[in-house]
Every structure is written in structure tokens, then in C-alpha cells.
Amino acid sequence: MTEADRKNADSPYFLHLPEGHSSPLFLDSPHSATTYPADFRPAAGLPLPLLRQAEDTFVDQLYGDAPARGIPLLCAGFPRSYLDANRGVEEIDEALLDAPWPGPKQATAKTRLGKGLVWRVLDTGEAIYDRKLSVDEVQARIERCYLPYYAQLQKLAERAVASHGSAWHINCHSMPSEAAQYATEFPGLQHPDFVVGDRDGTTCDTRFTDRVEGVLKDMGYDVWRNHPYKGVEIVRVVGQPQAGRHSLQLEINRKLYMDEVGLAPNAGFDKLKRDLNALLDELLRFVKAAPSRVLG
């Protein structure tokens, strides 16, 4: 994605496909968009740099060499604070709305934090809006952004299974070096370099998770598994190991590659990108050697 794309995008997603055949492995980055839609209308006094703390800034760029390796890369075109693609469509926070939600809704730990499908507060607790949102407004975001993004995820998984007999997916994220008050249920936690999440082994073959974790540890990184991030809605939907669809979430500590306040790449960016390319190359060898459907 070019800088012009990042500033002027008007699409629910950007799909970067290889020029030749696609591998069984594909990636998605649901939170790296930096475009803020005109109908967002956050509180007038909310500084943009503070609002941007919700972004997984530069994650799309860190994985930008994936298509040249035969790996499709899907990136959301809408920012996380506008609509969080990694939440269930029923995770509606009615405290944000001016009327009752007419459809199914589900209270979760995230909705209780004000971080449901549409965020009410930022990680640090600031209110995003100085108004109530209408039901029509939220439904429009779902129709325009959420549903097309998930439809494309499903197409990528189905295409990989049809072509290779299995699909292998990494849901790409970043995390602050320290968990903020409203970010997780573990405020103040000092995060490791990486967190690998497979919802306690339910969304992909554990040998794939082992390989990701092992390669990163061999590179010298500190890696945790399923704490404090197990993977949320995207890996739950994509990951169906019994159908040959394997999905895990990979969180990167932002201190490794960026100034977390100034939102600019730091001196570690290029090294991290090289290491991620090496990880992808190793995973390509793994998935190409894996039997169709499920391992073992």
C-alpha cells in the first residue's frame, strides 16, 4: 500500500495478491488502516494522535513483502476505532447508542470495557464520541466495512483449500509495550516481543503454532502463547482445523519497530521486517510440506 493509498483510501479492504500462484498461506491485517471516514465524527476535542493510538500502525508495511513470496495479504481500509473487525458482529455496546439495538447482541469482556464492535472509549479511557450513535449509523458501518472484510477472508480460505487442500492463515496485529487501562483485562502488563494465539489450540494445528513460536524464539525473541491474547473473532471464524483451515493470531510489541508516541518507525523496523520475512519463508516450507486437510 502506498502512502497515497493510506491517506485517501475509500474501500473496506485492500487485497494484495501474488502475481503468480498463491500459496496455502495468507495473511490479514485488520487494524493497520490510517484513513478516517468522513462520517466517523469523533469528539471535536479528541486529538488525532491520541485516536491513532488504536491503530496497528505499520503492520501492513512490516508484512508488505508477503505477496512477492506468493502469500496474499488482506488489509482493512477502515480504522479500528471506527469499527473493530476483530470483534463479533453481535458485540454491540448499547451504552453508545441512542436507541435499543434491534438485532442480536452479546455482552463480553470487551463490550464491558467499552471496546465492542464499535468502540466507545480508547485504551486509555478517553471517550471517542461526544454524542450517541444512531442504530442506522452502526448498521451502515457493518454493511459497508465488516461484512465485505469477512467475505474476503472466507474467499481466501476457500481458495487455498480448493487449490492446495488446506489453508494456513496468520491474523497480524501489534500491541503496546505496556497494556493500557482499557486495553485488556491485564492493565499494566509488560508485554513480551510476540504473543502467539490459537485460542488454546482450537483454531489451528498446534504444530503450526509450535513452528511460529519456535522460529521466533530461535531468533532471540521473547514469545508467549495465548496470554494475554488468545485470538478473537477472526481466527475463530477462519480457523476450522477439521476442515483443513488453520488460523492463528500474531501480536508484535510495537517497541520493536516504532516510536509508540510519535507513531514513526524506529531503528528496529528494518531488522524486524527481515526477521518476519524469514519467518514467512520458513512457514512456506512448513505448509507446502504439510499433507492436505490436517496434519498427522
pLDDT of residue 185: 75
Q: Are 248 and 202 in contact (CB under 8 A)?
A: no
- CATH of range 3-289; options 3.40.630.40, 3.40.50.620, 3.30.470.20, 3.30.1300.10: 3.40.630.40
Residue 72, burial from CB neighbour count under 10 angstroms (0-12, 13-18, 19+): buried
Task: Tell me the three-class secondary structure of 27-88, residue by residue.
Answer: EEECCCCCCCCCCCCCCCCCCHHHHHHHCCCCHHHHCCCCHHHCCCEEEECCCCCCCCCCCC
Q: What is the DSSP string of 158-197?
A: HHHHHHHS-EEEEEEEEE-SB--TTTSSSTTPBP-SEEEE
Q: How far is Cα 54 from Cα 119, in angstroms, rounded to an integer?
A: 10
Taking only the tens of pLDDT, the chain with its 296 residues reads 233 333 444 689 999 999 999 999 999 999 999 989 999 999 999 999 999 999 999 999 999 999 999 999 999 999 999 999 999 999 999 999 999 999 999 999 899 999 999 999 998 899 999 999 999 999 999 999 999 999 999 999 999 999 999 999 999 999 999 988 777 778 889 999 999 999 999 999 999 999 999 999 999 999 999 999 999 999 999 999 999 999 999 999 999 999 999 999 999 999 999 999 999 999 999 999 986 654 43
Domain ranges across the chain? 3-289
H-helix or E-strand containing 5? helix 3-8
Categorise residue 78: left if φ over 0, alpha if ψ from -120 to 50, beta otherwise: beta
Q: How far is Cα 251 from Cα 173, in angstroms, rounded to an integer?
A: 5
CA atoms within 13 A on the CB side of 69: 21
Which residues does 72 contact at the CB level (< 8 Å), separation at least 6? 15, 16, 17, 18, 22, 26, 27, 66, 156
Angstrom distances, CA of residue 274 to CA of 34, 61, 226, 278, 281: 23, 12, 25, 6, 11
